[in-house]
Amino acid sequence: MTTETLTLMIAERLDDKGDIMRLTLTDPTGAPLPPVTAGAHIDVLVATDSDTMWRQYSLAGDPADRSNWTLGILKEPASRGGSVALHDIARKGAELRITGPRNHFGLVEADKTYLYGGGVGVTPMLAMAYELHARGAAFELHYCTRSADRAAFDDLLRAAPFAESVHQHHDDAESKFNTDALPDPADDTHLYICGPEGFMSWLIGAAEARGHASAHIHREYFSADVDVTGDTFEVEARASGITVTVGEGESIVTALARSGISVEVKCEEGICGTCLTDVLEGEPDHRDHFLTDEEKADNSEMCLCCSRANSARLVLDI
Ligand code: FES
């Protein structure tokens, strides 16, 4: 799957339940879109009169259909403003600048796959369901929402060729998801979880308590609270020949920027991996949700937008 910068057209906008806007994106010339695999996301440039920001959205449609991409975008007034701005400016026929697709949430081969989407976290699960159905693989999709009247994509899920594998759970009804219903752990059983941070930690904690190996619990965060506080430490940017001190409440990205070293960032919440950088010396204090537990233990890479140091000094390949 290649990563490209593209200008795509909003072919359709649908304001769905639960403050979720569904956008259908196409190439303005009608050309096929780049190939994707389930779990992929794109970065969308949200440009307003006063600001520009990149936001990450999972692709929700059938990965085999290269005529269009589907996004589901939750309007979150309490967040940093990207989703509200996009809800304001997205119009049928308008163009959006995007990069991607990228995929760090891809499906692995498994005898049985369980997909758990909380709210708008159902979006990558839809793409996964299409792909698993096309493979003839055994899977269940569990979609958890606060109530039926907030269940976006309901029409699509009911009409989908995999509808019999979909289970909807509403917090205010008997169908509310009970973690007792999680499957037993097995070598060939994999779980995929996406949703708000509280949903993620609740379900991941329950799956781990049930005995599922961390490597079998695949996770995709949409947003995360970032805590960049901690003691000061030094960062040597070896390729640039510059050493900076990272203050108690600032990120490595901010400290490096003071010395003229620019690190590309997108989410600034430790979820997209854009700022991932090689670590040459020292021990990072990983605070991101991008790297796996194994990659964090390896300490050879770190996300500079949110992670800090457990050692007094870090040497980075930048
Ligand atoms: S900018 Fe997204 S992980 Fe750092």
pLDDT digits (tens, 9 = 90+) for 164-187: 999 999 999 999 999 999 999 999
User: Is residue 126 assigned to a domain?
Assistant: yes
Please tell me whether residues 208 and 150 are part of one structural domain: yes
Alpha carbon of 144 to those of 106, 124, 150, 175, 271: distances in Å? 21, 14, 10, 9, 22
> Does some domain include residue 202?
yes
Report the CATH number that the domain containing residue 305 is assigned in CATH. Answer: 3.10.20.30
For residue 112, the SS3 value is strand
More confident of the two residues 3 and 259: 259
* 89 plus 119 within the same structural domain: no
Owning domain of residue 267:
233-316
pLDDT digits (tens, 9 = 90+) for 24-48: 999 999 999 999 999 999 999 998 8
Write the CB contacts of 169 (distance below 8 Å, at least 6 apart in sequence): 142, 143, 144, 145, 175, 176, 177
Same domain, 204 and 242: no
Confidence of residue 3 (pLDDT cuts 50, 70, 90): low
pLDDT value, residue 225: 77
Is 224's C-beta closer than 6 angstroms to any atom of ligand 1?
no
For residue 252, how far is its CA from the centre of ligand 1 (angstroms)? 12
The pLDDT tens digits for 63-79 are 999 999 999 999 988 77
Q: Is pLDDT at 1 greater than 70 in this prediction?
A: no
Ligand 1 binding pocket includes 131 (Cβ within 6 Å): no
**What is residue 221's three-state secondary structure?**
strand
Domain count, the chain: 3
Residue 75 pairs in a beta bridge with none
Which atom of ligand 1 approaches the CA of 303 most closely? 4
| Any domain includes 135 | yes
Among candidate residues 194, 221, 248, the one where a domain is terminated:
221
What CATH number does residue 120 fall under? 3.40.50.80
247 and 213 in one domain?
Answer: no
pLDDT digits (tens, 9 = 90+) for 141-151: 999 999 999 99
3-state secondary structure 48-83: CCCCEEEEEEECCCCCCCCCCEEEEEECCCCCCCHH
- Closest ligand 1 atom to the C-alpha of 267? 2
Q: Find the 268 Cα to ligand 1 centroid distance in Å.
A: 5
- Nearest 5 degrees, angle CA 191-CA 197-CA 198? 90
Question: Is the domain of 204 the same as that of 120?
Answer: yes
Residue 228 domain-assigned (yes or no)? no
303 lines ligand 1 (CB under 6 A): yes
- Average model confidence (pLDDT) across the chain: 94
Mean local confidence (pLDDT), 271-289: 95
Q: Which of 265, 287, 291, 307 to mutate to test the pocket of ligand 1 (most atoms within 8 A of CB)?
A: 265
Within a domain: residue 227? Answer: no
Q: What is the CATH number of the domain that holds 67?
A: 2.40.30.10
Residue 266 CA: nearest ligand 1 atom is: 1
- Whether 13 and 90 map to the same domain: the answer is yes
Residue 251 has pLDDT above 60, yes or no: yes
The answer to whether position 74 is within a domain reads yes
Whether the CA torsion 48, 4, 219, 262 is positive or negative: it is negative
CB atoms within 10 A of CB 272: 25
Same domain, 94 and 153: no
| E runs forming strands in 163-211 | 166-170, 189-195
Instruction: Please check the confidence at residue 302 and state whether its pLDDT lies above 90.
Output: yes
Q: Is 76 contained in some domain?
A: yes
CA dist., res. 196 & res. 224, Å (int): 8
Same structural domain, 304 and 206: no
Please count the other Cβ atoms lying within 10 Å of the Cβ belonging to residue 160: 18
Is residue 289 within 6 Å of ligand 1 at its C-beta? no
pLDDT per residue as tens digits for the range 85-114 = 999 999 999 999 999 898 989 999 999 999
Asked if residue 226 belongs to a domain, the reply is no
Ligand 1 in contact with 274 (CB < 6 A)? yes
Cα 318 to ligand 1 centre (Å)? 16
Can you tell me the distance from the alpha carbon of 192 to that of 120, in angstroms, rounded to the nearest whole number? 14
